[in-house]
Amino acid sequence: MKLSALQIFWLMFTFETGNMILITFSPTFQVAKQDAWICYCLAGILGIMIVYVSSRAALLYPGKTLVEYSKLIFGKWFGMLIVIVYLIQWFSVIGEILREFSEFTITILLPTTPVWILVLTMLLILIYITYSGGIEGIGRCSEVFGPMVLLSVLIMLILSVSIFNYRNFLPIFADTGFLPIMKGTLTPLSFLGESVMMLMLLSFMDHPQKGPKSAVWGIAAASLLVSSVAIGVLLILGPEIASKLRHPAFDTVSYVTVMDFIQNLEILAVLVWILSIFIKLSLYFFLANYGTAQLFHIKNWRKMLWITVPVFFGISVIYPNPTYSLIYLNKYWINFALPVNMVGIPLLLWIVGSIRKKFQTHL
């Protein structure tokens, strides 16, 4: 199973774009108001730093996954603890995304469909792509889906220009200030910080030294596109309306019309989100199963699928409550996963790993 530099670029771009556009706008507009676009620009810069540090840390031990080199850097027990911390994130994220996928699909497309049907359907697709293709199959899917996501978003942005109200930009910074903007940055940054999965993905590359550059460009492209969409939402809806809607980016698309002929572009928005969410779920699904198998020394990692799938199904169906999603985002994702999993541990791995490498070289 090998990934190319181009596949890493499209993986980083695709799995970040859809979920950020759908979920992060409302909480960011609530805090930063008309300066929300500044939050996305700052989050993009910080997200690039996170993916770069993660990639450099993984590059210290090319060909080895996080499960393997964390033990080489910190020893057996502390290394295992780090892996467990990431496994908790990967398992919980899959359940959360499956739940969000089901709720959105039911609301927009299939209002009478039971949640468990949609969850089971997505899990069966994930089993197929992961079991048959592994990480290489997921990478190839991203090469197809990524350009489709990019093109769809660009089309929606271009068609929206005619209804922009540029007065929604003003005033800049005066009504919010530094602290609200920094607080609003945390939500999009916590999503861009998911690029920390490069700690695992780089070990599957055919040319690992190209990994950091490809990952950085992928996150930069995703950040630029999402920031552009945030500006579009601001100019069409304004900060007050955008902060009150659950999915403001999706609602914005319904306003787009060209000569009363090109209308109902919601299908493009749904396409963007579903393709992006599929890549994101596939990546997490693979990492959770592969990482767990390595942790418990199971040679055939595909056997883990039959153990983990019921767990993911249970997490998704037992807690189909929007309140749970809000608590998960605010209490765990931003307050713990962002500072620890996405910033602290990668930085620690890079610093300590570099020191150990230099020390071993001088011996």
What is the C-alpha end-to-end distance of the chain, expressed in Å? 35
- The span from the CA of 318 to the CA of 235, in Å, is 39
Q: What is the pLDDT of residue 107?
A: 81
Q: What is the pLDDT of residue 161?
A: 85
Contact 193, 47 (CB under 8 A): yes
Q: What is the pLDDT of residue 324?
A: 63
Contact 313, 119 (CB under 8 A): yes
- Condensed to tens digits (0 to 9), the pLDDT of residues 133-176 reads 899 999 999 999 999 999 989 988 888 888 888 888 878 876 77
Q: What is the pLDDT of residue 100?
A: 83
State the DSSP code for 170: P
Q: What is the pLDDT of residue 314?
A: 87
Dmax over CA atoms of the chain, in Å, equals 74
Contact 52, 216 (CB under 8 A): yes
Burial of 29 (0-12, 13-18, 19+ CB in 10 A): buried
DSSP 15-36: HHHHHHHHHSHHHHHHHHGGGH
Q: What is the pLDDT of residue 331?
A: 81
Q: What is the pLDDT of residue 262?
A: 64
Q: Which of 37, 21, 18 is nearest to 248 (CA)?
A: 21
Q: Which residues of the chain have pLDDT under 70?
A: 1, 174, 258-264, 319-326, 361-363
Residues 6+ positions from 191 with CB-CB distance below 8 Å = 16, 19, 20, 23, 24
Q: What is the pLDDT of residue 327?
A: 74
Q: Pinpoint the alpha helices (H) of the chain.
A: 5-23, 25-32, 36-59, 66-74, 76-108, 115-160, 178-192, 198-201, 211-237, 239-244, 248-253, 266-295, 305-318, 322-327, 345-362
- The span from the CA of 117 to the CA of 110, in Å, is 11
Contact 247, 24 (CB under 8 A): no
